[in-house]
C-alpha cells in the first residue's frame, strides 16, 4: 500500500518540477478511502466461544503532511446476543501504518494478527509483520514479529495446529488498478500456533508471472491459497489457487479439470476477475471451500471446491460481490447458509448443501459498502450482521434475515 502511494506522489512531483501547471496535491490521500481504515476481521475462538473484531484504522491519527498513512491495529470483543460498536482497544501501535490487519484463530484458540507494516522498514519501504495472542487476546509473541522485509498484502489462515500467512513480495510498475502496477511473487509462511518452526515456502515466484493480493482459508488440516495473476494487455486478472499442507510444508497436487493438468497450482483462466474483488471461505459443515469472484462485467461467480481442490460446481450470473468483504456464515447439518454483501448495497443469501449451491435470495439495503473492509457474522437470533469500515468510523450494518 505504501509502495502504491509513493508511486503516485512521485508522479505528481515529477509533473510539478517539470513546470506543469498541475499543483502538488495528495491525490492518493484524497481518493483512496483506505487511508482512513483498511482491513477488518471477525473471529470466534473455538476454545472459549469469545468473538473479536480486529481491524486497522487511522481515524484518530489521520494522514501526515507527507502523505504517509498512520494506521494502528485495534480490537473489540463482540457479544453475539447484543452486537454493538463498543469502544476500541489498542492492540498494536507504531508511527507508520500497520494495515490491512488480517487475523485468524487456530483450533487451540491461538490468534495470529498480520499486516503490511511501514514502520522501521528501512530501504524496503514496508514489510510483513505479525503478532500472536491467546484466546483472550493476551500477548503470546508481541509485535514486531517479522515475516519478510519487503513483504506486503499478507493474509492469515489457521488450521488446528498451524498459523499461515500468505503474502506478496516485490512490485512491478504498470498495469493493474489505475495503471499503478501489480505484485510479482507470492509466498506462504507457516508456523506452530506458538510461533515456532517458522518456514517460508515459495508458491509462485519468478519472472514469467505477476501474482499478488494473496488470500487464504483453512480447514483443520489444509489451507486453500487464492490469488490473482496479471494478464498482459488486459484490465482483469486470472484467479489462481493451490492447497497447502502446513505440517509437511508442501503444496499438494490438485487434480485438474477438463483441459487442466494435475498440478500444485491451478489457474482458472476462463474467469475474467475484477482486480482485488474475490474471496475464499472454508465451509466447516460440508468440508468444502467456496470462492467468490466479481467478474469484469460486474457479475458474481461462486466456485465450490472439495477438500482436494476439485471444482464441484460453478454458479454464474450472481450479484457482484463487495471488494475486501467476507460473508456471514450459519451452519446446519451438512449445510451452510451464507450472506454476502452485494455491490453497491444490500446483501444476498445462498445455501450450500449436497454439493450444490442454491439459488440466490436478495435483500435490499440503504448502506453503500466501501472497499476498506467488511466482515460478516450471524447473531444469536440467526440474523446476518456486518461490521464495515467507513471514511470516518466503523459501522454495524443489519441485521438481515432471509
The proportion of the chain whose per-residue pLDDT surpasses 70, expressed as a percent, equals: 92
Q: What's the pLDDT score for residue 259?
A: 62
How confident is residue 67, by pLDDT bands cut at 50, 70 and 90? confident
Cβ atoms of 16 and 23 within 8 Å: the answer is: yes
How confident is residue 10, by pLDDT bands cut at 50, 70 and 90? very low
How confident is residue 66, by pLDDT bands cut at 50, 70 and 90? confident
How confident is residue 402, by pLDDT bands cut at 50, 70 and 90? confident
pLDDT per position as a tens digit, 38-51: 999 999 999 999 99
Q: What's the pLDDT score for residue 260?
A: 65
Pull the grid cell for residue 152.
506486503
- Asked if the model's pLDDT at residue 356 lies above 60, the reply is yes
- Asked if the model's pLDDT at residue 368 lies above 50, the reply is yes
pLDDT per position as a tens digit, 163-211: 999 999 999 999 999 999 999 999 999 999 999 999 999 999 999 999 9
In terms of DSSP bridges, do strands 325-326 and 374-378 run parallel, antiparallel, or are they unpaired?
parallel
Average pLDDT, the chain: 92
| Adjacent-strand bridge partners of 328 | 339
How confident is residue 372, by pLDDT bands cut at 50, 70 and 90? very high
Pull the grid cell for residue 12.
505528481
Tell me what the mean pLDDT of segment 269-285 comes to: 97
pLDDT per position as a tens digit, 200-255: 999 999 999 999 999 999 999 999 999 999 999 999 999 999 999 999 999 999 98
Is 173 buried (19+), middle (13-18) or exposed (0-12) by CB count in 10 A? exposed
How confident is residue 30, by pLDDT bands cut at 50, 70 and 90? low
Q: Kindly report the pTM of this predicted structure.
A: 0.92
- Asked if the model's pLDDT at residue 106 lies above 50, the reply is yes
Phi, psi of 7 (to 5 degrees): -60, -45
- Asked if the model's pLDDT at residue 22 lies above 50, the reply is no
Residue 29 sits at the vertex; the CA angle it makes with 23 and 32, to the nearest 5 degrees, is: 125
Tell me what the mean pLDDT of segment 285-299 comes to: 98
Q: What's the pLDDT score for residue 257?
A: 62
Q: What's the pLDDT score for residue 24?
A: 28
Quick one: which of 75, 37, 39, 76 has its CA closest to 57? 37
- Asked if the model's pLDDT at residue 88 lies above 80, the reply is yes
Amino acid at each position: 500500500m505504501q509502495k502504491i502511494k509513493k508511486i503516485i506522489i512521485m508522479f505528481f512531483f515529477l509533473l510539478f518540477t517539470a513546470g506543469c501547471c498541475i499543483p502538488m496535491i495528495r491525490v492518493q490521500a484524497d481518493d483512496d478511502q483506505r487511508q482512513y481504515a483498511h482491513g477488518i476481521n471477525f473471529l470466534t475462538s473455538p476454545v472459549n466461544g469469545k468473538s473479536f473484531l480486529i481491524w486497522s484504522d487511522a481515524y484518530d491519527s489521520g494522514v501526515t503532511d507527507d502523505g504517509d498513512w498512520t494506521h494502528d491495529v485495534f480490537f473489540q470483543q463482540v457479544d453475539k446476543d447484543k452486537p454493538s460498536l463498543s469502544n476500541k482497544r489498542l492492540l498494536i501501535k507504531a508511527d507508520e501504518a500497520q494495515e490491512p490487519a488480517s487475523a485468524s484463530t487456530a483450533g487451540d484458540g491461538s490468534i495470529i494478527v498480520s499486516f503490511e507494516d511501514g514502520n522501521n522498514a528501512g530501504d524496503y519501504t514496508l514489510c510483513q509483520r505479525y503478532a500472536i495472542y491467546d484466546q483472550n487476546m493476551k500477548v503470546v509473541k508481541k509485535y514486531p514479529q517479522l515475516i519478510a522485509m519487503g513483504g506486503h498484502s499478507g493474509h492469515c489462515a489457521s488450521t488446528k495446529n498451524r498459523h499461515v500467512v500468505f503474502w506478496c513480495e516485490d512490485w512491478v510498475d504498470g498495469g493493474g488498478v489505475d495503471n499503478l502496477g501489480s505484485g510479482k511473487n507470492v509466498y506462504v509462511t507457516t508456523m506452530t500456533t506458538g510461533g515456532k518452526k517458522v518456514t517460508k515456502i515459495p508458491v509462485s515466484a519468478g519472472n514469467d508471472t505477476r501474482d499478488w493480493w494473496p488470500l487464504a482459508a483453512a480447514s483443520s488440516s489444509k489451507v486453500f491459497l487464492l490469488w490473482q495473476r496479471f494478464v498482459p494487455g488486459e484490465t482483469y486478472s486470472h484467479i489462481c489457487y493451490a492447497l497447502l499442507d502446513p505440517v509437511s510444508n508442501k503444496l499438494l497436487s490438485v487434480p485438474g479439470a477438463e483441459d487442466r493438468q494435475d498440478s500444485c497450482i491451478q489457474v482458472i483462466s476462463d474467469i475474467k476477475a475484477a482486480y482485488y474483488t474475490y474471496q475464499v471461505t472454508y465451509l466447516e459443515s460440508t468440508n468444502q471451500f467456496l470462492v467468490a469472484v466479481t467478474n469484469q462485467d460486474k457479475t458474481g461467480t461462486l466456485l465450490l471446491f472439495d477438500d482436494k481442490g476439485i471444482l464441484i460446481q460453478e454458479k454464474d450470473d450472481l450479484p457482484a460481490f463487495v471488494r475486501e468483504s467476507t460473508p456471514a456464515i450459519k451452519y446446519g447439518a451438512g449445510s451452510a447458509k451464507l450472506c454476502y454483501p452485494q455491490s453497491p448495497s444490500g446483501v444476498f443469501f445462498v445455501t450450500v448443501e449436497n454439493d450444490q449451491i442454491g439459488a440466490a435470495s436478495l435483500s435490499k439495503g440503504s448502506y453503500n459498502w466501501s472497499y476498506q473492509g467488511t466482515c460478516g457474522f450471524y447473531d444469536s437470533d440467526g440474523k446476518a450482521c456486518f461490521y464495515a469500515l467507513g471514511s470516518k468510523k466503523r459501522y454495524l450494518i443489519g441485521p438481515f434475515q432471509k
